[in-house]
Amino acid sequence: MAQLTFMISMIVMTAFWGIVGIVIPIFIPKGPNRGVIVTMLVLTAVCCYLFWLIAILAQLNPLLGPALSNDTIWYLRYHWD
Amino acid sequence: MGQPGNPETLRLQDNGPTWQHGDAICKMVFRSEEMCLAQLFLQSGSEYDCISELGELGLVEFRDLNPSVSSFQRRFVSEIKRCEEMERILGYLLREIRKANISVPEEDESPAAPPPKHVLEIMEELQRLEMELSEVARNKEKLQRNHLELTEYTHMLKITRTFVHSRSRHEALGPQYEEFPTLETDSVVSGCTGMQRLGAKLGFVSGLIQRGKVEAFERMLWRVCKGYTILSYAEVDESLADLDTGEINKSVVFLISFWGDQIGQKVQKICDCYRCHLYPHPENHEERADVMDSLLTRIQDLNNVLRRTEDYLKQVLQKASESVFSWVLQVKKMKAIYHILNLCSFDVTNKCLIAEVWCPVSDLANLRGALEEGSRKGDAPVPSFVNRIPSNDTPPTVLRTNTFTCGFQSIVEAYGVGDYREASPAPYTIITFPFLFAVMFGDLGHGLVMTLVALWMVLMEKKHKKKRSTNEIWKTFFAGRYIVLLMGLFSVYTGLIYNDCFSKSLNLFGSAWSVEAMFASHQWTNESLQTNALLTLDPNISGVFTGPYPLGIDPIWNMAVNRLSFLNSYKMKMSIIIGVMHMTFGVVLSVFNHLHFRQRYNVYLVFLPELLFLLCLFGYLVFMILFKWLAFGPRDSRQAPSILIHFINMFLMQDADVSPLYPGQKGLQMFLVVVAALSVPVLLLGKPLFFYWLYRGGKGLRRRRGYERVRRASEDDGSTTPHYDEDEEEGMEEMTSREAAAAAAMPKHFDFADVILHQSIHTIEFCLGCISNTASYLRLWALSLAHAQLSEVLWGMVLRLGLRFSSKLGVIALVPVFGLFAMLTVSILLVMEGLSAFLHALRLHWVEFQNKFYHGTGVKFVPFDFSLMPSILEQDGLL
């Protein structure tokens, strides 16, 4: 289950930023601004994908868990499930 | 060349000319444009119009061909003096118009510079206006003075009447005698009679004096005249304006009664000294009444005349204000044209002016078109033409920008204008700068506010451009509106990933950490809840951790007490990864420069060692970070190694007591350190040795360079041929100074020590810089931590207090609390933190990114363009 969610989110994000960074630049019409727009799209895709990837990889194998106060634990037990 | 149907069209925008052309033009934004030096031959008679056309288009930059001539000895000095005279008159006109509170209507299009034959007409008109205005102003002043005198006289008469009011009771004393004011006793009356017997004559001096001087005046009178004078005075109700100083102050009417001629003279002198306004004192009631009547009528007349004069003045100014705006612009353009004409040199044999200009190669056709247009307008028999000449000077740098990219270009140029044809970091900065800002600013709520503000500025831009604001801070923010917009958008994204919205987290997908699982596995019981204030979830227990949160940081961390220990580790590692990638990108960009300037040896001797050094050490660090994240889980959390210790051990080549991360680690690390260590001497000595070898031998290369030189010399003859298309031009491009330097690093004078010094500085800077720059990227962590903490403080200390009220009064109390929260958020978190993150992101770009490939020692191209020149009157704030 955990693996499935991870794989789904991985595929969705990679596909999304892949489309933004690789597919859309093909369709930008030729003009004086084509270079700038393609650069912007590719860089946006790279930066945002990298940022998301770092966030998810950092949490993949947590070495420590959150320390919660007992009030919080009581609330979470009854309200988050 | 400018014919209809030609695919080349030129459109002027407020940020310089742009083109609608093919692919080749797209490259212009990555690298500055190719420039050429051209000579313009301007036929006398049409030179003014040609320069006027060029000024309207803003294509070229003129060079000064008469640098040794002082500005007073240039050809067109008298014309410039005339322009300045006209500007002086226009300034006077504008001041008068301002004083009369008439608004100057501004037109959208600016008028063209007037041809010399119209100039005299404008000059005459201006001079006529000036004369008329000054005459009217003088008359008005005279009338006002007159009016003041009459008013003072009237007041004096009215007030002195009260002094002698009681005289009516003592008419018998006769016309010569005036009674003294109220405090009369019989003795004084008898004293008068006594004087009458003595035959002394009483004299009167009356007038006005300023309120402040009255006491001193009285004392002086007493001292000088020893009691033979009596002064009575009363204040005037109305405050009168003193025309000399323009102040409005109170005056006092006084009446001095004295007897004896000598005393009279002394009194007169004292009155002059104190600058009193003296008026003749009437002898009796009838005279007083007559004088007052005549005064009143005269004042009325004067008022009429004054009003008419002011109306006339206003009319004149109104009429002038209609055309003053276009006059100002016309004079400004004329003056600019004459300044440019002064830069040209006069060729006596051909009777034409020669100008040398820097022109982008792609604009040569437009330049020719402009000259033709100018020649046509000037009705010259022979058209002016352009001749392209070769040059060894470094041309100025020009990069085409539009309204969107010009903000980013300006922040790159604030560090330094790029060298001629050097790769420009601006197109990459468009995205990486807002991204790095957002990493430091990352908050969904704050990012949203910033985006909205920027969106407002962008949507209102047409309106704001017309309104010329004088507020410097607003102008700065407005100029950077697109930067702020992108910063806001990226901040929304990073805020989403950091899961931080006004210091609260969003739970969109359900947290991955389950508290229930801890209870289910009997790790926690209800008693343990009651006895322990703090409990930690253990990811080793099944069901507690169900996979990473799909979008960003898990929302449970917002409520955890040990939140920072997780976030710090995450953010620091993220900063290092982003930093190393940014720097590698910078190093890779330098390849484009090396290839463009045909310095292939740089690719092998500079780029490759730099890249190897960077990747072997810091690329490996990034690899270790990723490896630890992937390979070590909760099960091995006790043996999870510290990456820093491993990294340090790598340099020291020890393996001490730490267990290896993966098999073969020691061998791989030693290999990487050796490669990095070897690349340092290659970087240090490679290039100098290569140059030395070229200098000594390397005959094969020298011959090839000589052939290139011969080829270049054969195309030096004029450029009346149409300009080449792009690929041909690549081959026949003139040697830039860099290539010339490369070619000249040979036979003549080879300074080995100089090259070694230069290269060793570069090596030290790069290698030490690698380490310090990587650490410098940790500011991404530091600032995002500061921002998150400030945000939390504002929530906890301000808004939460307002939300905690349990009574109904809390609703009302929440309003000021929210107001305080909003104000502090905007001022501290948005403005202060925003500026701080902006500055740090800028520093990261300028230093850590750009010193890998950018020199920034060029000169900016400043075209002769009327729209770029402010008029002096605008600068004075008169317009």
User: Once rounded to an integer, what is the mean pLDDT over residues B497-515?
Assistant: 90
Are A66 and B21 within 8 A, CB to CB? no
Sign of CA dihedral B611, B613, B617, B620: positive
Separation between Cα atoms, residue B491 and residue B717, nearest integer Å: 57
Give the pLDDT score at B705. 53
- pLDDT for B169 beyond 60: no
Closest-CA residue of A relative to B549 is A56
Alpha carbon distances (Å) from B606 to A62, B307, B601: 41, 83, 8
Determine the Cα–Cα distance for residues A48 and A54; give it in Å rounded to an integer.
Answer: 10
Locate tokens 């009575």: which residue?
Answer: B232
Residue B532 pLDDT: 85
Q: What number of helices (H) and strands (E) belong to chain A? A: 3, 1
Alpha carbons A79 and B849: distance in angstroms, whole number: 48
For the cut 60, the answer to whether the pLDDT of residue B703 exceeds it is no
CA distance B733 to B739: 11
* Tokens of residue B489, six digits: 């958008």
The more confidently predicted of residues B250 and B166 is: B250
- Chain B: residue whose CA lies nearest to A2: B547
The closest CB to that of B427, out of A9, A39, A62, belongs to A39
Q: Which residue has the higher pLDDT, B228 or B389?
A: B389
B823 close to B814: Cβ distance less than 8 angstroms: no
**Which residues, numbered 6 to 35 in chain A, qualify as contacts with chain B under a Cβ-Cβ cut-off of 8 Å?**
6, 8-9, 30-35
Highest mean pLDDT among B110-114, B179-183, B498-502, B646-650: B498-502
Most B-contacting residue of A5, A12, A28, A51 (CB-CB within 10 A), to test interface = A51
B7 burial class (0-12, 13-18, 19+ CB within 10 angstroms)?
A: exposed
Of B148, B104, B393, which Cα lies nearest the Cα of B247?
A: B148
Using a CB-CB cut-off of 8 Å, the residues of chain A touching B494 are: 51
- Across the interface, do A68 and B557 touch by the CB < 8 Å criterion? no
Residue A74 pLDDT exceeds 90 = no
Query: A47-56, B790-799, B807-816: which has the minimum mean pLDDT?
Result: B807-816
Give the rounded percent of residues in chain B with a pLDDT score beyond 90.
35
Q: Which residue has the tokens 């405090």?
A: B183
- A59 to B548: CB separation less than 8 angstroms, yes or no: yes
CB-based contacts of B728: which residues, under 8 Å, 6+ apart? none
- Provide, as residue numbers in chain B, all residues whose Cβ is less than 8 Å from the Cβ of A66: 513, 536-537, 556-557, 559-563, 566
B554-604, pLDDT tens digit by residue? 999 999 999 999 999 999 999 999 999 999 999 999 999 999 998 888 899
CB atoms closer than 10 angstroms to residue B278: 16
- Confidence at residue B196, expressed as pLDDT on a 0 to 100 scale: 47
pLDDT in tens, B401-421: 888 999 999 999 999 999 999
Contact B126, B90 (CB under 8 A): yes
Q: What is the mean pLDDT of residues B784-799?
A: 94
SS3 (DSSP) at B38: strand
Residue B97: strand, helix, or coil: helix
Contact A18, A42 (CB under 8 A): no
Q: Which of B551, B774, B435, B443 is nearest to A55 (CA)?
A: B551
Structure ipTM over 0.90, yes or no: yes
Which of B481, B569, B579, B518 lies closest to B779 in space, CA to CA? B579
Contact check, Cβ <8 Å, A56/B519? no
Q: What is the pLDDT of residues B52-78, one digit of tens each?
A: 889 889 889 999 888 888 888 888 898
Q: What sign for the dihedral angle of Cα B408, B412, B414, B419? A: negative
User: Between vectors from CA B690 to CA B689 and to CA B696, what angle results, nearest 5°?
Assistant: 85
DSSP H/E element including B689: helix B665-696
Q: Which of B179-188, B478-487, B860-869 has the highest mean pLDDT?
A: B478-487
CB-hemisphere CA count at 13 Å for B572? 10
Condensed to tens digits (0 to 9), the pLDDT of residues B102-122 reads 777 777 677 787 887 788 888
DSSP state letters, B565-626: HHHHHHHHHHHHHHHHHHHHHHHHHHHHHHHHTT-HHHIIIIIHHHHHHHIIIIIHHHHHHH
- The 10s digit of each residue's pLDDT in B741-750 is 555 444 556 7
CB contact under 8 A, B427 and A3: no
Contacting residues of B for A45, CB less than 8 Å apart? none
When pLDDT is averaged across residues B770-778 and rounded to a whole number, the result is 93
Cβ-based contacts of B841 with chain A (< 8 Å) = none
Backbone angles phi, psi at B216, to 5 degrees: -65, -40
Mean pLDDT of the region B846-864: 92
Residue among B428, B546, B562 whose CB faces A66 most closely: B562
Nearest partner of B609 among B486, B793, B736, B763, judged by Cα: B763
B539 and A64 within 8 Å at the Cβ level: the answer is yes
Rounded Cα distance, B497 and B492, in Å = 9
Residues of chain B with Cβ-Cβ distance to A33 below 8 Å are 26, 402
Q: Which of B691, B831, B698, B689 is nearest to B749 (CA)?
A: B691
Which residue of B8, B10, B26 to mutate against A (max A Cβ within 10 Å)?
Answer: B26
| Chain A residues close to B427, C-beta within 8 Å | 35-36, 39-40
Confidence check: pLDDT of B293 > 50: yes
Do the beta carbons of residue B354 and residue B66 sit within 8 Å?
Answer: no
Name every chain A residue with its beta carbon within 8 A of the beta carbon of B536: 64-68
Contact B537 A36 (CB under 8 A): no
Rounded CA separation B453/B464 (Å): 14
Question: A-chain residues within 8 Å CB-CB of B567?
Answer: none
Average of per-residue pLDDT across B271-292:
84
From the CA of B377, how many Å to the nearest CA of chain A?
A: 33
- Tokens at B179, concatenated: 């009674």
The token duo for A43 is: 């860089």
Report pTM: 0.80
The predicted pLDDT at position A49 comes to 96
Strands across the sheet containing B277-279: B229-235, B251-259, B202-210, B277-279
In this structure, the dihedral spanned by the alpha carbons of residues B666, B669, B673 and B679, taken in order and rounded to 10 degrees, is 140
Whether residue A81 lies within 8 A of chain B, CB to CB, comes out as yes
> Looking at residues A3-24, what average pLDDT do you find?
93
Counting Cα atoms < 13 Å in the Cβ hemisphere of B331 gives 26
Q: What letter would DSSP give residue B199?
A: T
Report chain A's terminal Cα–Cα distance, integer Å.
17
Q: Which parts of B415-521 are beta strand (E)? A: none
Q: Which of A6, A39, A80 sits opposite B547 (nearest CB)?
A: A6
| Most B-contacting residue of A1, A39, A68 (CB-CB within 10 A), to test interface | A68
CA angle A61, A67, A68 (to 5 degrees): 130
Tell which residue, B180, B186, B169, B185, has the closest CA to residue B202: B180
Task: Residue B18: list chain A partners with CB under 8 A.
Answer: 32
Residue B25's closest chain A neighbor by CA? A32
Tokens of B796: 């906890």
**CA-closest candidate to residue B589, choices B821, B237, B252, B845:** B845
- A35 with B547: Cβ contact below 8 A: no
At residue B256 the predicted structure's pLDDT band, cuts being 50, 70 and 90, is confident
∠ at Cα B285 (B282, B289), nearest 5°? 80
Q: What is the pLDDT of residues B534-548, one digit of tens each?
A: 888 888 888 888 889
**pLDDT per residue over B633-678, tens digit each?**
888 877 788 888 888 888 887 766 677 788 888 889 999 999 999 9
Least reliable range by pLDDT among B86-90, B212-216, B725-729 = B725-729
Asked if A55 and B570 come within 8 Å (Cβ–Cβ), the reply is: yes
- Taking chain B, what is the end-to-end CA distance rounded to the nearest angstrom? 39
Share of chain B above pLDDT 70, in %: 85
Q: Which two tokens stand for residue B114?
A: 């007037």
Write the residue in A1, A57, A66 that is nearest to B546 by C-beta: A1
Pick A64's closest partner by Cβ from B29, B551, B566.
B566
Q: Which of B266-280, B491-505, B612-626, B649-663 has the lowest mean pLDDT?
A: B649-663
User: Between residues B175 and B293, which one has the greater pLDDT?
Assistant: B293
Residues 55-74 of A with CB under 8 A from B: 55-70, 72-74
CA atoms within 13 A on the CB side of B360: 24
| Dist. CA B123–CA B492, nearest whole Å | 60
Decide if B17 contacts B363 (C-beta within 8 A). yes
- Chain A residues whose CB is inside 8 A of the B573 CB are 54, 58
Asked whether the beta carbons of residue A32 and residue B18 sit closer than 8 angstroms, the reply is: yes
Of B22, B497, B539, which has the smallest distance from its Cβ to A62's Cβ?
A: B539
Alpha helices in B378-443 (DSSP H): 405-413, 426-441
* Between A58 and B739, residue with greater pLDDT: A58
Tell me the DSSP string of B142-175: HHHHHHHHHHHHHHHHHHHHHHTGGGGGGGGG-T
- Three-state SS across B289-344? HHHHHHHHHHHHHHHHHHHHHHHHHHHHHHHHHHHHHHHHHHHHHHHHHHHHHHHC
Are B32 and B424 contacting, i.e. CB atoms less than 8 angstroms apart? Answer: yes
Q: Are B173 and B136 in contact (CB under 8 A)?
A: no
Amino acid residing at B416: G
For the ranges B23-32, B573-582, B735-744, the maximum mean pLDDT occurs at B573-582
DSSP state, residue B385 = E
Output the average pLDDT for chain B.
Answer: 82
Residue B868 pLDDT grade (very low, low, confident, very high; cuts 50, 70, 90): confident
Name, in order, each residue with C-beta under 8 angstroms of B772's C-beta and a sequence gap of 6 or more. Answer: none
pLDDT at residue B763 above 90? yes
